[in-house]
Homo-oligomer: A and B are copies of this chain.
């Protein structure tokens, strides 16, 4: 696992306190750099479609063999995009026999959502 996968929106609760909400306080340079990596991973239509295909799947996980047919792209290209989503800490995967299975990390998505929402400002100042 690369260093990038351990920051900001990792699997543990400690990371939840990494960054203030967008409306709570200005980000420092390190926080902005880490968060920008994650938003950059989301800043591609293929990756967003892959993420939504995985996230919306009943049962919570998807075989890569079910993802590839949804795109007019090669298997290596799909795998590359999935790798970038994984490095951003948004999904994880496991190989079982021939195929790799992917699932989203809901904690990471929810923390990103909490970072963006402006409602917390009202709560914080109430």
User: Could you tell me which A residues sit within 8 Å of B by CB distance?
Assistant: 20, 22-27, 29, 32-33, 35-37, 39-49, 51-53, 55-56, 70, 104, 106, 109-110, 112-119
From B39, B47, B109, A117 is in contact (CB under 8 Å) with: B109
Look across to chain B and name the residue whose beta carbon is closest to the beta carbon of A27.
B52
From B24, B53, B106, B114, A56 is in contact (CB under 8 Å) with: B24
CB contacts (< 8 Å) of A37 on chain B: these are 43
User: What are 22 inter-chain pairs, A to B, with CB distance below 8 A?
Assistant: A20-B52, A20-B56, A22-B52, A22-B55, A22-B109, A23-B52, A23-B109, A27-B48, A32-B45, A32-B46, A35-B42, A36-B44, A36-B48, A39-B40, A39-B43, A39-B48, A40-B43, A40-B44, A42-B42, A106-B118, A110-B116, A113-B117
